[in-house]
Chain A
């Protein structure tokens, strides 16, 4: 235990001495004349000579007042005990709210534990210290920025909710934390996560970094993949892959429900780190399937998944190209894609198509609907082409993007690529040291993806990953067509084109709540916040208030990076001037100061109350007697 302001003991000692002096000094008493002191003389003990001082006697009031003064002296000296925590004047708290933080291996769940820890850290802050709260997991949120208002900070922390989608990329948070820390000395960054986060290699912060790992278990099994495919007419196949992310062999029962009716159950024995698949034929009339793992593990959110049967409607794709056999072949492999090829870019496209692929072509104006640019040779209204990249080495962006599902880039070589810039609406899917090679995102209510290199300038088309990448891109850019394309990650904006006869669209969430939107230039968009629940969503396309068509989408919580819930004890983030911090050793160092003067002040307050009651006991007794007399009279 230590004291922040030990000199305050001098002030406290002075007060103590003052109290004692008040009791030693004779009281200046009010004079009252009585007929005789004859009887009083026989009662009163404390008769003293008329000296200015008197002997200090036992007096409960004196002892109570000394105790109160002592408590207050200790309180203003601000005692503290060293604890695992922070001590800086500028605290930046980064809280992970990704899906893995929903693991229930700690009280409530990991997120609640992290929030409690964050509140504890904030409570330890010295007076006047500021705090910034950041929430990673999906888009970066900063609910409280450099504020000294403890209530605001606490509300900000308590307002953080779990996000099933979006992964746990710390790069943005660390960049912002670095900028904030650079402005003020004695900055400290506290990272509260289970460690299942993506930390950029170059992350270096000009501040002390403390890592507070959350979680204790790695026991998690998840439905990693689910599909309901019509491989042949009249034959519907259900596929599910269950993965065991834990360290022990487990047996889980997979319950398969078709259209709300239990169809079958399968006991799956899964080795640590291994998968088990279920591939069965189901009645061709089934339209939805729910797969649920019976029993429990630490992360229940990925124990259930849904799939819907693919739409039998063809997916119209407009393909503008000077000629590309690779792409034509890849598109031809996709069963329901109906490709309309245009060999010239001089044509003007005014009708709305679900997806237009512009392969080395840039018609003016750009066609309406979702767009896939391949090897753009000039800038457009959505991005700039500022040159070319020679022999870029592709690598997946650290965001675990679903567009790269089953895509392997390790063997891919690229001769050259367009240098794509000024696309703030997009996120990088395939990155390189010199710049992004594939970006995707939504802007103006349409989905756009830009692949920087020509398929002829790469050996990617010769790789098995190519048709998978194209299938992922088409699924992303032509949503609502059932099958895999109908499976969405949580929190992802839902946007699609509608025909002119559609006047409104109604989104029905799994919990039954509905939200309506009207088309804007033939495009419908629902914000990602409406799609944060896992489950089946219905979209009703309305024509003058009457349902003309309906589509269904599935939001499944599984994300490979989030299914790994093993708590990480070492988080490698470098700090300037302080070496590697964020390891378990430095985390456990007792850097924090937990002040407990409030408890002393509370105790002093209680004793003040006791002292008052003691001093006023005569009046209280009279009050009690009066009250009893009144009650008996009544």
Chain B
């Protein structure tokens, strides 16, 4: 519980209990759960009729229909299964920056969604990648999965340079089942486009949480400066006058629009987050509005 307290206040968790994860389509799971699956199963909700063929379970034959038509039909019901929520968190050094800290904010957002999923008897699998050090906890299920989830999230630290593309490729190859996927990243890497394209190759229902801090949106710079890249990139000399800062803001806006356009055209949910936005507002207002939760 101490890890929970580190990420959230108990009061906040009670608010999360009232939320549920939404998916845009039915997703097949591995075990029975509480979500409609594209498969036919044994729930009480009628789905369809199917002509009997040898080998079918004769216990599902609809005898009333046989009495009327003198043909065997199977009565099918909707299957209810669990889903697996994939939480991908960018833990590169660039994420561990800003005030409020971007990595902390991303961990809280992922933790909140993970908690919502686990509380709904779904699965939540967390993977962090940064500096070549990938951490993953197996998909937990139910509230029993909450402590390990929060434990991992609260211990995340920014580290080194990250190839978002490589991490995405690896994840696509190793993920066992598809499902909703939340990518928390600042996307401050040249290969963000290819990385998102790679994730789109599996039938994940992708949501990109684009996290930037206020200081990145409006840099408080003035004068002649040497900019040091937190991820160890090449240092940059600038003369931060109003003109340069204005052009930076314009460039940042254009880049955000570019990312959003890319996501929209590929069915990816794009949510831009300024870390000065309270987490409650993100979950209750923004994610509800974007129909990620309800």
Q: Which residues does A use to contact B, with CB under 8 Å?
A: 26-27, 29-44, 46-48, 617-618, 621-622
Contact B224–A27 (Cβ < 8 Å): yes
**15 other A-B residue contacts (CB within 8 Å) besides A32-B225, A38-B190, A44-B237:** A29-B224, A31-B226, A33-B229, A34-B228, A34-B229, A35-B186, A36-B188, A36-B233, A37-B229, A38-B188, A39-B251, A40-B238, A41-B234, A46-B239, A617-B242
Q: A32-B228, A617-B242 are in contact. Are A37 and B216 (CB under 8 A)?
A: no
Chain A residues within 8 Å of B239, by CB? 46
CA distance A397 to B216 in the complex (A): 97
Q: Is B247 an interface residue (CB 8 A)?
A: yes
Chain A residues with CB under 8 A of B189:
36, 38
Q: Are B231 and A36 in contact (CB under 8 A)?
A: yes
Chain B nearest CB from A205 CB (Å) reads: 65
Residues of A within 8 A of B226 (CB): 29-32
Nearest 6 CB-CB pairings of A with B: A36-B188, A618-B242, A35-B94, A35-B97, A29-B226, A36-B94
Residue on A nearest B96 in the bound complex, by CB: A35
**Chain A residues positioned under 8 Å from B219 (CB to CB):** 34
A48 to B239, CA, bound (A): 13
Most buried by B among A42, A44, A48: A44
Interface string of B98-134 (1 = CB under 8 A from A): 1000100000000000000000000000000000000
B44 near A: Cβ within 8 Å? no
Out of A36, A42, A622, name the residue touching B186 (CB < 8 Å): A36
Nearest CB on A from B212, distance (A): 8
CB of B225 within 8 A of CB of A31, answer yes
- B234-261 vs A, Cβ < 8 Å mask (1 yes, 0 no): 1111110110110110011001000000
Separation of A46 and B237 alpha carbons in the complex (Å): 7
Check A29 against B188 for contact (C-beta < 8 Å): no
Chain A residue numbers with a CB within 8 Å of B251 are 39, 42-43
Identity of the chain B residue whose Cβ is nearest the Cβ of A31 in the assembled complex: B226
Instruction: Flag whether B221 is at the interface (Cβ < 8 A).
Output: yes
- Cross-chain contact A39 with B255 (CB below 8 angstroms): yes
A37 touches B225 (CB 8 A): no
Cα(A31)–Cα(B231), bound, Å: 15
Q: Which residues of B contact A32 (CB under 8 A)?
A: 221, 225-228
| Separation of A35 and B237 alpha carbons in the complex (Å) | 15
B278 within 8 A of A: no
Q: Which residues of B contact A622 (CB under 8 A)?
A: 242
Assuming the A-B contacts A36-B186, A37-B236, are A30 and B225 also in contact, with contact meaning beta carbons closer than 8 angstroms in the complex?
Answer: yes
B236, closest chain A residue (CB): A37
Q: List 16 A-B contacts (CB under 8 A).
A: A29-B226, A30-B225, A34-B97, A34-B230, A36-B188, A37-B233, A37-B235, A38-B188, A40-B248, A41-B234, A44-B237, A44-B238, A47-B236, A48-B237, A618-B242, A621-B242
B47 to chain A, nearest CB (A): 50
A36 touching B237 in the complex, CB below 8 Å, given contacts A29-B224, A43-B248? no
Residues of B within 8 A of A36 (CB): 94, 186, 188-189, 229-231, 233
* Residue B223 interfacial (CB < 8 Å): yes
Give per-residue flags for B175-207: 1 if the beta carbon is below 8 A from chain A beta carbons, else 0.
Answer: 000000000001011100000000000000000
- How close is B198's CB to chain A, nearest CB, in angstroms? 19
- With contacts A27-B224, A43-B244 taken as known, whether A35 is within 8 angstroms of B238 at the C-beta atoms is no
Which of A26, A35, A48 sits near B188, CB closer than 8 Å?
A35
**Is A33 touching B237 in the complex (CB atoms < 8 A)?**
no
* Contact present for B230 and A30 (CB under 8 Å): no
- The answer to whether the Cβ of B159 comes within 8 Å of any Cβ in the partner chain is no
Q: Does B280 contact A (CB under 8 A)?
A: no
- Check if A40 sits within 8 Å of B236, measured CB to CB: yes
CB pair A39–B252 under 8 Å, yes or no, is yes
* Distance in angstroms between the alpha carbons of A392 and B229 in the assembled complex: 110
- B222 interface residue, CB < 8 Å from A? yes
Distance, CA A35 to CA B216, complexed state (A): 8
Residues from 1 to 28 in B contacting A, C-beta threshold 8 Å:
none
A39 to chain B: which residues have CB within 8 Å?
Answer: 188, 248, 251-252, 255
| Residues of A close to B231: CB separation below 8 A | 36
Residues of B within 8 A of A33 (CB): 97, 227-230
Taking the complex as formed, is B168 at the interface, i.e. its CB lies under 8 A from any CB of chain A?
no
Q: How far is the CA of A33 from the CA of B216 in the complex (A)?
A: 12
Q: In the complex, are the beta carbons of A37 and B234 less than 8 A apart?
A: yes
Query: Any chain A CB within 8 A of the CB of B91?
Result: no
> In the assembly, what is the distance between CA of A26 and CA of B224, in Å?
11
CB neighbours (8 Å) of B241 from chain A are: 617-618
Residue of B nearest to A615 (CB): B241
Q: What is the CB-to-nearest-CB distance from A362 to chain B, in angstroms, rounded to a whole number?
A: 98
> Is B213's beta carbon under 8 Å from chain A?
yes
Closest chain A CB from B213 CB (angstroms): 7
Task: List residues of chain A with CB within 8 A of the CB of B188.
Answer: 35-36, 38-39
Q: Specify which of A26, A36, A47, A48 lies most central, judged by the most chain B CB atoms within 10 Å of its CB.
A: A36
Selected from A31, A38, A621, the residue in CB contact (under 8 A) with B228 is: A31
Give chain A nearest CB distance to B45 CB in angstroms.
Answer: 49
Q: A418 → chain B, closest Cβ, in Å?
A: 94
Give CA–CA (A364, B223) in the complex, Å: 99
Residues of A within 8 A of B248 (CB): 39-40, 43
Q: In this complex, what residue of B is CB-closest to A34?
A: B227
Complex Cα distance, B234 from A47, in Å, reads 10
B95's nearest neighbour on chain A, judged by CB, is A35
Q: Nearest chain-A residue to B189 (Cβ)?
A: A38
Report yes or no: A30 in contact with B244, Cβ–Cβ below 8 A: no
- Note all chain A residues with C-beta closer than 8 A to B98: 35
Taken together as a complex, chains A and B put the C-alpha atoms of A608 and B114 apart, in Å, by 62
State whether B236 touches A41 (Cβ < 8 A).
yes
How many whole Å from B108's CB to the nearest CB in chain A? 18
A34 to B231: give the CA distance in the assembly, Å. Answer: 9
- List chain B residues, Cβ under 8 A from A30: 223-226
Given the complex, which residues of A lie within 8 Å of B234, measured CB to CB? 37, 41
- Whether B224 and A618, one on each chain, are in contact in the complex, defined by CB atoms closer than 8 angstroms, is no
**Cα distance, A41 to B235, chains bound together (Å):** 10
List, in ascending order, chain A residues with CB within 8 A of B94's CB.
35-36
Contact with B236, one of A26, A44, A617, A618 (Cβ below 8 angstroms): A44
Question: How distant is B157 from chain A, measured CB to nearest CB, in Å?
Answer: 15
Q: How far is the CA of A48 from the CA of B237 in the complex (A)?
A: 8
Nearest Cβ in chain B — how far from A471, in angstroms?
92
In the complex, the chain B residue whose C-beta lies closest to that of A48 is B237
Smallest distance from the beta carbon of A7 to chain B beta carbons, Å? Answer: 35
Does B97 contact A43, Cβ atoms closer than 8 Å? no
Bound complex: CA of A36 vs CA of B237, how far in Å? 13
Establish whether residues A40 and B213, one from each chain, have CB atoms under 8 Å apart when the complex forms: no
| A26 partner residues in chain B, CB cutoff 8 A | 237
Cα separation A622 to B241 with both chains bound (whole Å): 11
Is B247 within 8 A of A43, CB to CB? Answer: yes
B252 and chain A: residue at smallest CB distance: A39
CB distance from A59 to the nearest CB of B (A): 10
Chain A residues near B223: list those with CB within 8 A: 30
Which residues from B are CB-within-8-Å of A27?
224, 237
B227 touches A40 (CB 8 A): yes
Specify which chain A residues have a CB less than 8 angstroms from the CB of B225 in the assembled complex. Answer: 29-32
**A118 to B234 Cα, complex, angstroms:** 70
CB distance from A609 to the nearest CB of B (A): 19
Shortest C-beta distance, B227 to chain A (Å), equals 5
Q: How far, in angstroms, from A48 to B235 measured CA to CA in the complex? A: 10
* Minimum CB–CB distance for B29 against chain A, Å: 37
Q: Which residues of B contact A42 (CB under 8 A)?
A: 251
Q: Are B222 and A618 in contact (CB under 8 A)?
A: yes
Q: Note all chain B residues with C-beta closer than 8 A to A34.
A: 97, 216, 219, 227-230
Minimum Cβ distance to chain B for residue A628 (Å): 15
Q: Nearest CB to that of B248 among chain A residues?
A: A43
Nearest residue (CB) in B for A42 is B251
| Cα–Cα, bound, A617→B241 (Å) | 9
Closest to A46 in B: B237
**Quick one: closest B residue to A41, CB to CB?**
B236
A58 to chain B minimum Cβ distance, whole angstroms, is 13
**A42–B97 alpha-carbon span in the complex (Å):** 21
Q: Which residue of A lies closest to B216 (CB)?
A: A35
Alpha-carbon separation in the docked complex, A618 to B245 (Å): 10
Nearest A residue to B93, CB-CB: A35
